[in-house]
Structure 1
Amino acid sequence: MKKIGFALSVLMVAVMIQSCAQQNESDQVCIKDNCVNVEIVRNEEDRRWGLMERDSLEADAGMLFIFDQSGIYPFWMKDTLIPLDIIWMDYARNVVYIAEDVPPCEEDPCLSYNPDKEALYVLEVNAGYAAEKGLQLGDTAQFQLRTMENKK
């Protein structure tokens, strides 16, 4: 009977450890050893929604937009309530454009923020993040994504 109780205890501890490990797994983008936990956006409907109507964003959080092919992808701040930094990255995950301290759009038509180079990925983070972390054009991002093979 003691052996069964011990075995059940060990099993319960193992399940709890596995559960905690899974909860701590998150998709991350790291630039210059600074990592943010990201929500992944892959489809057009989710791209349109983005961070609209959110009144806050955790300091170490962001949203990563992944496109099907490289292109010039303008972003705007319609119905976005918080200021953001928007960081465009090319196919090799090199930073090609940064729009810093982009304010929420307060009246139509909203300004559009256009990179001058093609990108495959766009990262939205809290305003001030790029300056605080010293991010620059040419920096390379590392992706730690559960849903996509990390090729870099």
Structure 2
Amino acid sequence: MNTWRIAAVVTLAAAGWAPAGLADAPETLPTVEACFLSNSQHHTVVLEVASKDKQRQRGLMNRTALADDAGMLFTYQTERSANHGFWMYQTLIPLDIAYLDKQGVIVSIHTMTPCPSSDGRNCPTYPSGERFWNAVEMNAGFFEARGITAGDQLVWPAEQACQP
């Protein structure tokens, strides 16, 4: 019987099945040290990098906490329209999002609140309002607390400009 169970589990795993909870485990993403440059100040952060469609779609879903200096960087190979937005479906913590141009300059910032609906169609989207290439999500209040505004820049990986 044990041989049969092992064979069944191996077959199901090969087909992409995983026990409840395991399939929802967040993928380990690469990280990069980056910094926000604002009014001659720098604010160092560690960002998970979501560069593939599936990674960007999952984002920070189902996370219950995020370290103060941690976030997620969403990278794209092409420019996104001003109407392109993010949503908070299955996202449990409030977040700030900064939309960035190709050079990492912030073009807009929004605060996003968790969507309690179990139906994603009922969750609002947060469009950038400006064309953008990348976006970064941090804990809600991160940008305001540090005086980071549109026109400031995110540099990654952290370079000499980010050193104290």
Residues 1-150 of structure 1 aligned to structure 2 (within 5 Å): 27-32=32-37, 33-72=42-81, 73-100=84-111, 102-107=112-117, 108=119, 109-144=122-157
Name the CA distance, whole Å, in 1 between partners of 2:57 and 2:150.
26
Q: Give the partner amino acid of 2:134.
A: Y
User: Shift of residue 131 of structure 1?
Assistant: 0.3
Name the CA distance, whole Å, in 2 between partners of 1:28 and 1:124.
14
Name the CA distance, whole Å, in 2 between partners of 1:97 and 1:49.
22
Secondary structure of residue in 1 paired with 2:156: strand
* Rg comparison, structure with higher value: 1
CA-based RMSD of the aligned residues comes to: 1.5
Q: Give the partner amino acid of 1:49.
A: R
Question: Number of matched residues?
Answer: 121
Q: Give the partner amino acid of 1:139.
A: D
User: Shift of residue 35 of structure 1?
Assistant: 1.4
Task: List runs of 5+ in structure 1 lacking aligned partners.
Answer: 1-25
Runs of 4+ in structure 1 deviating by more than 4 angstroms, as ranges, are none
User: Shift of residue 28 of structure 1?
Assistant: 1.9
User: Shift of residue 141 of structure 1?
Assistant: 1.5
Secondary structure of residue in 1 paired with 2:35: strand
Name the CA distance, whole Å, in 2 between partners of 1:55 and 1:110.
19
Q: Give the partner amino acid of 2:130.
A: K
Percentage of matched positions with identical amino acids: 33
User: Shift of residue 106 of structure 1?
Assistant: 1.1
CA-to-aligned-CA distance 1:92-134 (integer Å, 9 cap, x gap): 111001002x110012410000011111110000000010011
Name the CA distance, whole Å, in 1 between partners of 2:75 and 2:34.
12
